[in-house]
Amino acid sequence: MPTSLGLFGTGRLGSAIRRLADARDDLEVRWAVGSERPGDEVLEAVDVAIDVSTADAVADHLTWARRTGTDLVIGATGWDPSLVDGELPVRVLVAPNFSLGVALVRRLTAVLGAYAAATGSAGTPVDLAVAETHHRHKVDAPSGTALALREALARGAGTRLEDVQTTSLRLGEVVGDHEVTVTTALETVTLRHTAHDRDLFAAGALTAAGWLTTRPHPGLFTLDDLAEDHLRPLLGGRAEQAGPGPATRSTTADAHA
């Protein structure tokens, strides 16, 4: 029997998620609502819902999820993280970015930060930076992913967030480009992730939704929890956690903005 799916948000990412979900036999999209939606109280319960709407709507969607017993994946931007504090009767996954490639880069960024700290301890000046570029329509800057990478780099280096230079560009129709850089007088080390198509995030959102429904207990999860399962074999059985960081405390997502 197909997993029943609901979508809050019918913008760029929401539309991509629906298109990919409709092409799969194991998923059934029961409803997809945008800003001109009916009251949440009339929406039927589904196995899992994906929220890529707006910050103002997240509180209502969480209330609906609790009332209907529906698992919820949240990829909206700028909402209050205290909304998911305390015990949750359903499974909720919060993702600043739906790309597992970004989750991998975030882990590597923490390692790069530790390398920078070791270099700096020898008396060598070290510069730390995160740069991101998105399409001209994106409102928030820096992006949620840039903030997550900045946190991982600062934590790995044992320094303040303010010590990581962070820059943003809004150009054309760039889907998403993030770059982490550590520079000394002798070398530069750079990590970079470039998204070529929004389908990357749509596929990741569906992966997150499917993974969430298999968790044995309700509660709060992040993409790092999912990435731990997926990346452990790639990292020799040691998929280091990127730490709680912005995945749980920050609620700015990039993929749909």
Which are the catalytic amino acids? 134, 138
Query: First-to-last CA distance in the chain?
Result: 33
Instruction: Specify the 3-state DSSP secondary structure of 16.
Output: helix
Query: How many angstroms separate the CA atoms of 132 and 257, rounded?
Result: 14
- List, in order, residues 6 or more apart from 208 with CB less than 8 Å away: 50, 73, 93, 95, 98, 223, 226
Beta strands in the chain (DSSP E): 3-8, 27-33, 48-51, 71-74, 91-94, 127-134, 164-170, 176-183, 188-195, 219-222
E-strand ranges in 57-142 read: 71-74, 91-94, 127-134
